[in-house]
Structure 1
């Protein structure tokens, strides 16, 4: 019961970089969920927080071997784990996927542009807008960064704007996983729609050519007058 519930110890490593000078090792002892003794590498000795803890701190600070062993834990315990965290978690990045869509609300002249980013890590991200390569900040709203599952995040930004002919509307995404800011331009006609239009035109032209060829062949086989062939042409 003593070590399972009433009495327990904790070891913490606080850090803002993987350099040893930026790491703090903290060892604490608790009794009935009350911390009574702490060693911090910042102050480099034991501190007591209760009457019993003050007595224990005085004993520990006068025990050279015990104090030396605790001081060594900053390098032996923290440094190894901090490097592991930086390698496997803190330095991990995932590149955001970005999509720009637009809708025309009924009864309104302004289009609603939505720039959506998904699947990125770490959490911090910046989404901005340009019109004809000039920064644009009015009529812009953004959501908070939201969890996307599996430690990844998503964020969205919206712009209300009435585009003119040949206006270039783009959203820009800046993130730690990107070497440079990512531009996502708005395309009034998507690549898929362009392909459908091109295929439709090609099919119409091909059908017209085949129809004309069939008529000419018919006129020639039937030995119809020249005016038939000329009228078809």
Structure 2
């Protein structure tokens, strides 16, 4: 603040670009009383003036080798901070893929690709069918905060199941050195297969116990009848027995 009426501001901004955010564009702006005066852009590598005074000032700054060196140092510092953020303050997403059947009984289904617990929030999700990007019947949710510095998001693919297709969800994130691929496996999930196996084992054990009980009962009944017949033979002739 220069006076009660005059306000001067310098603002630095670094924009990350590229599939893995490996490229940066450093922009330094000079503002006076909310009017943009000058701007330095690392992509162009020079200052640009927007008023008569700042145009002349930009010419002077562009001819100053010390200013050019200062801008290079600032950009390298931004690259260094970017790497610090990338490798120390990032959390890679946990990706899960599941199928949701439509309630109306239609043959088509919905695949849901969910990314959880990632930071920062910038993320890209794509559907791949046999190695090609799918652009139709695809929708996305917003990137939603979990309330603990982490984020989650979901992507949906409407599809008709086919055994000949290979469908995968591809995820790109700042914390990943390369894209993550999660391939859809149409077989039953491990938990569901485990429940089925446990149920079958219980059914088999119950069947075995029932058969063993029937066999034991038949053997006991046969032994009782044998003993009873033997006792009848020991009775005097003509004597009755009431059971």
**Structure 2 residue aligned with 1:174, among 170, 175, 182?**
170
Larger mean Cα displacement after TM superposition, 26-35 or 1-10: 1-10
Do 2:95 and 2:182's aligned partners in 1 also have CA atoms closer than 8 Å? no
Looking at CA atoms only, which structure, 1 or 2, has the larger radius of gyration? 2
Deviation at 1:30, TM superposition (A): 0.8
Q: Structure 2: give runs of 5+ residues left out of the alignment.
A: 228-243
TM-score using structure 1 length:
0.65
Deviation at 1:42, TM superposition (A): 4.7
Distance 1:213 1:57 in 2: 102
Deviation at 1:8, TM superposition (A): 0.6
**Alignment size in residue pairs:** 204
Q: Structure 1: give runs of 5+ residues left out of the alignment.
A: 226-233
In structure 2, the partner of 1:39 is: 40
Distance 2:96 2:56 in 1: 58
What secondary structure is seen at the aligned counterpart in 2 of 1:111?
coil
Shift in CA distance, 3/59, structure 1 to aligned 2, threshold 3 Å: farther
Shift in CA distance, 12/173, structure 1 to aligned 2, threshold 3 Å: closer
Give 1:180-199 correspondences, 5 Å limit.
181-187=181-187, 190-199=192-201
1:60-110 deviations in Å (ceiling 9; x for gaps): 456xxxx3332123332221222332452498642421112334625xxx3
Shift in CA distance, 182/219, structure 1 to aligned 2, threshold 3 Å: same
In structure 2, the partner of 1:230 is: none
Do 1:30 and 1:37's aligned partners in 2 also have CA atoms closer than 8 Å? yes
